[in-house]
Amino acid sequence: MTPGTEYGSTFGRDEPDLRSAHVIVVGNEKGGTGKSTVSIHVTIALLKAGYRVASIDLDTRQKTLTRFLENRQSFARSAEWPVEMPFHHALERGSSTNVRDNETHEFAAFAEAVAAVEHDYEFVVIDTPASDSYLMRLAHSLADTLVSPVNESYIDVDVFSRVHHDRSQRGAIAHYADLVMEARRRRRVVDGGVIDWILLRNRIASLKSNNARQIENSMQHIARELQLRAAEGLHDRVIFRELFPIGLTALDPIEEGMKNNMLSTSQKSARREIADLVSSLRLPLHEKTKGHLAARHLWFERMSEYYRDLGKDKPE
């Protein structure tokens, strides 16, 4: 069964009983694509927009999101302005020599973390590790919005759509894409939900090369084949890394620490990129006349219609 036929026929059923929290999962089985950087900036952007945000770090080894928030909490103690913090939960690795016991322990911890936030927060951001595990697959199946950052490299594209010298084998659904497709199937069966999947071209070089243009074209093709949305992420800027030790982002009032109280051109561009990134996710951002749950239902209707139409337009 082709992805277009499968998803095109299932989107648009009766609206599910939506939980209050909109779950954003940042995932890709390929490492080094900037998942934690995206998780950090989406979390802080939503906090600064006034939303109640929780975050969960499933990367029990790297813990980059957790380390950033620890640094941010430390900075907040002496900061001259209110520093926004999410309600954060970091999963601990199972310490048993038995793999099954570790999986059981981590599953229970994850279930407890989700139960603690799904009704009291408007957004939950989940940062996942670059590995295939039961817990990682479970997180994907809970996603309302799934963000998969990729570098401008065919090595990154290969986990979505097979890159091969032999044209007859080129374009086959690759392992990570298959994982997401299975998560989508499970989600529809369990609660009739929609997973809006965004392929995020990330760590973009300042100068567009021929390779970058080819990758961009490949992503558009993958978007049609796998029924996802392609979007532009963050450029490869020093500011996205240099503020990590103090737990700040380009969205924070860092100009107050500058000698001339002004941002550089690069810093201003970084702020715009983060705003554009959040906008491209098309999240259920509530308005004055609509509460969060009403925005969630409107989001579901729009996404269902989008993917239903996408399935109809997919070439045979």
- Per-domain residue ranges of the chain: 3-313
Confidence of residue 2 (pLDDT cuts 50, 70, 90): very low
What would the pLDDT profile of 19-35 be if each residue is shown by its tens digit? Answer: 789 999 999 999 889 99
Q: What is the mean pLDDT of residues 266-293?
A: 89
Using the predicted structure, report yes or no on whether residue 155 has a pLDDT greater than 60: yes
pLDDT value of residue 6: 44
Q: What is the mean pLDDT of residues 77-94?
A: 91
pLDDT value of residue 314: 57
Lowest mean pLDDT among 87-101, 112-126, 187-201: 87-101
* Single-letter code of the amino acid located at 67: R
Residue in 258, 257, 238 with CA at minimum distance from that of residue 75: 257
pLDDT value of residue 14: 52
The CA distance from 295 to 69, in Å, is 28
Residue in 111, 160, 159 with CA at minimum distance from that of residue 135: 111
pLDDT value of residue 222: 86
Lowest mean pLDDT among 38-42, 68-72, 108-112: 108-112
**What's this model's pTM, rounded to 2 decimal places?**
0.88
Please provide the DSSP assignment of 232-288 as one string.
E--B--THHHHTGGGT--TTS-GGGGSTTS---HHHHHHHHHHHHHHHHTT-----T
pLDDT value of residue 169: 53
The proportion of the chain whose per-residue pLDDT surpasses 70, expressed as a percent, equals: 87
Using the predicted structure, report yes or no on whether residue 85 has a pLDDT greater than 90: yes
* Single-letter code of the amino acid located at 115: A
Homologous superfamily, domain 3-313? P-loop containing nucleotide triphosphate hydrolases (3.40.50.300)
